[in-house]
Amino acid sequence: MAALLLFCTGVVILGVGIYRYKGPVNVWYIAYGIVTVDSNYLGIPGGISAMLFALAISPFIPDNWRMPIVILALAITFLGLIFAKRLLKPAWLRWLEKEHGAILPILRQEIQKMGPEKWNRRINTQEELAEWINEVKMQRRRRAMGLDD
């Protein structure tokens, strides 16, 4: 029973990891502290590891296969902790860091002003993100010129 529960938990974690990777633009990737931001990348390797651990403790796996499965699960866990951020960064975030890396601190401030819920409702695609970046840049220019409060 524990193996089934762990396997189902792994499937859910993997599903959430894939959705976060392939899904819409999400504020959690750029707006908060290192622990929150880095946790975005652990869903896929964490889900796979949980499913492997479940497999290792299930009764239908022969004893001589259990230890190799556990070692594989541990390897995926540790490699995920080390390499997941580099390998599983969404395309929109790579684009944002490459094209607008200098403005990221300003974007984080703007997200804190408007709130993450409002930001997530407003920004769902890379195109919407690009529009918002242009709006923020225009607001900053107007303020710098003294045209806007």
Domain ranges (residues) in the chain: 2-145
Q: How far apart are CA 92 and CA 78, in angstroms?
A: 26
Place of tokens 């390797």: 45
CA nearest neighbour of 43 among 108, 90, 97: 90
Mean pLDDT of 16-37: 74
Q: How far apart are CA 34 and CA 110, in angstroms?
A: 18
Is residue 61 a contact partner of residue 47, using CB atoms and an 8 Å limit?
no
Average pLDDT, the chain: 86
Per-residue pLDDT of 49-77, as tens digits, reads 999 999 999 998 999 999 999 999 999 99
